[in-house]
Amino acid sequence: MTTPRRLLLLNGPNLNLLGTREPAIYGTETLADVERLTADTARARGFEVRAVQSNHEGVLIDAIHAAREDCAGIVINPGGLTHTSVVLRDALSGVDLPVAEVHISDVRAREPFRHHSYVADVAVVHVIGEGVAGYARAVTLLCDVVTGRAEG
């Protein structure tokens, strides 16, 4: 069986507000900018992207489950669910796809409750605190894992 040439891009709660929500922390680029950057970066590596953003945990979990049918990996910014959602972590673990965890801000330098990530132990790529540009790096690194250029 050949590996699908598609990545799932998942953005969690409140990321639909990028560009307007706390621009001093998250910048002024929008979710559309993130999706365009991610798709362009993936396309340059021979992949396409299916983008999903939701403020509802179950929608994200359903997208993760569906990805096992036609995706080679998952790029996820879980937003606040990073620090609270065991079920999101379990969904990622359960589909057995390589995962890249992305955070626009440096969550390790913010409030103490943001220092723990339930996703961290299931992700093979971690890009934290690089702004929206971090999505491009996460896609590049994940493509390397998927194609065998790097270990995951």
What's this model's pTM, rounded to 2 decimal places? Answer: 0.92
DSSP 59-105: HHHHHHHHHHHH-SEEEEE-GGGGGT-HHHHHHHHHTT--EEEEESS
Per the annotation, where are the binding residues for substrate?
Answer: 77, 83, 90, 104-105, 114
Cite the annotated binding site by residue number: 77, 83, 90, 104-105, 114
Which residue among the candidates 103, 115, 126, 135 is catalytic per the annotation? 103
In contact, 134 and 140? CB cutoff 8 Å: no
- Per-residue tens of pLDDT for the chain, all 152 residues: 466 799 999 999 999 999 998 888 888 899 999 999 999 999 999 999 999 999 999 999 999 999 999 999 999 999 999 989 999 999 999 999 999 999 998 878 777 777 789 999 999 999 999 999 999 999 999 999 999 987 76
Cβ count within 10 A of residue 36: 14
Q: Is 56 a catalytic residue?
A: no
Q: Which domains does the chain possess?
A: 6-146 (3.40.50.9100)
Active site residue 26: yes
